[in-house]
Amino acid sequence: MTLVSTTALLDAQRAVLAFNVVQLEHGEAILRGAELAGRGVILQVSENAAKYHGGLAPIGLASLELAREAGTATAVHLDHAEDEALVEEAVRLGFTSVMFDAATLPDEENRERTAAVARAAQAQGVWVEAELGAIGGKGGAHTPGVRTDPGEAAAFVAGTGVDGLAVAVGSSHAMTSRSATLDFGLIRELAAAVPVPLVLHGSSGVSDEDLVRAVDAGMRKINISTHINGVFTRAVRERLDADPSLVDPRKYLGPARDAVAAEVARLLTLVA
């Protein structure tokens, strides 16, 4: 297996988990986990990760090369890009999908700019995800209590031509406890009303049981970042606490990579 289109991966699986790559060890761990589970997976690089590395190319090209060498079907996605130039760069580099996040803009501007991004990226065979701006944006759309209206969601997809839609159903970004309360009835309504795959952001805050229920209700792409970062960080901390004399990063990053691989495999098996 190797680098595949996000469309092909979504077509082949009932649901696809997408994990964020912050550094090389993340990408290696995610793919080890995917190989253990025998499942396809999406490597995601966010705009924030690109800024951390001084640009998209270093971490983006590394993720693409990891995907090409992977032992299971792997797509590479640009997550939460607010800058059209970054989307254009991701397309040039070979990313198989992008998320253009204009949700903090006025609704009409969000729709116009998202539609333009979708046309340009789709012309290059790239799958496009977006988020409905009318519900508040990245800081509000995934805040508990905020919900996506099925009619508005369907109209947004029809007006922009996007391939996937991130929806607000009760999860929230950057949760460190898995205590989110999802609205499964709303997920079913959205799945019936919206003709493209639904994307669940903030999935780090969702329990195992509810991840399974969300997929059963109609979620197709599940984004996870903070949860695996927590697994990684705890493993690093445990290793350094056990041996404060360590100075070789491989001695603590390696165990952290192994811990994330095991957790990725477990999560992938949940929604198989």
Residues with catalytic function: 79
Contact 79, 86 (CB under 8 A): no
Of 193, 155, 214, 190, the C-alpha closest to 16 is 214
Q: Which of 185, 143, 167, 272 is nearest to 223 (CA)?
A: 167
Pick from 226, 223, 216, 212: nearest CA to 187: 216
Conformational region of residue 55, where left means phi above 0, alpha means psi within -120 to 50, and beta covers everything else: left
Angle at 215 between CA 211 and CA 220, to 5 degrees: 115
From residue 43, alpha-carbon distances to 115, 141, 146 in Å are: 24, 23, 27
Measured CA to CA, the distance from residue 54 to residue 58 in angstroms comes to: 8
